[in-house]
Amino acid sequence: MGLKFEIRYTPVVELVKVSGDLSILGEFCKKVYGINVDVKKFPIKILQRKHMSLFEFIDTIWYIEASRVFTHELVRHRIASYWQESQRYVKTKPIFLLPRSLVEKVKISEFEKLIGLLADLYSFYQDLASETREFGEDFKQFARYILPQCVLTRIYAKFNLRELIEVVFPLRMCKRAQPEFRYVVIKMYLKLKEVLGEYNEILKYTGPRCVWYGKCPEFGYTNEDVMKKCRVEAYKEAILEHGTDEEIKRIDEIIQQLP
């Protein structure tokens, strides 16, 4: 195979911008209701009561490099905005993002077959994408149909804080979520925790659905020890499949920072 391509395990997750400040929630309360509140404690108080509309005033923008498997699931979250790399106008690079298990836990013959298939598919794509058919038509828009879902893509995503706390974290940090999605959202949670500073305590009230609801709607668990064990297993699997070597070494330390 003359083609050089790259296999990655780890998505890139960057917090580009946070718009708004949680202190504004207390200011709203003062102006609208004429009530003086503790600006630092007020966001936690309304979060505990599940009064979530005020959190829509805080926006976050993320840059993510991950597989198309991931982005096909990401865009199901509709209270968001997306801007994704085009396969129609941009020639896709031979970079494939896979879970470690698909590379390290299969037979050598299966791994060689996988690599051969990816190389053959991309070579065929490259040949088709470089051609211009009659009428000067750019053939990339047709060649992209044969690309595998594990091909790397780049996407910007914007979520308000309510959507993250109430929907994205509960659904996608759960053990039932795809490990790649789980890993991305774990990174989002930790990065948000850093930038929220004195307000990061609000994040201890969100996480997988067993944290948000106080019980597990997926498996029916109600015992906190059982739910905690399930959460730890979910975090561990996501990091082992998609974390960097350094994150895997620090896996216990990272898990301690999660709900």
Is residue 162 within 8 A of residue 53, CB to CB? The reply is yes
Secondary structure string (H, E, C) spanning the chain: CCCCCEEECCCEEEEEEEECCCHHHHHHHHHHHCCCCCCCCHHHHHHHCCCCHHHHHCEEEEEEEEEHHHHHHHCCCCCEEEEECCCCCCCCCCEEECCHHHHHCCCHHHHHHHHHHHHHHHHHHHHHHCCEEHHHEECHHHHHHHCCCCEEEEEEEEEEHHHHHHHHHHHHCCCCCCHHHHHHHHHHHHHHHHHHHHHHHHHHHCCCHHHHHCCCCCCCCCCHHHHHHHHHHHHHHHHHHHCCHHHHHCHHHHHHCCC
Phi, psi for 41 (deg, rounded to 5): -90, -20
The one catalytic residue in 68, 144, 162, 172 is 172
133 is catalytic: no
Residues tagged active-site: 172
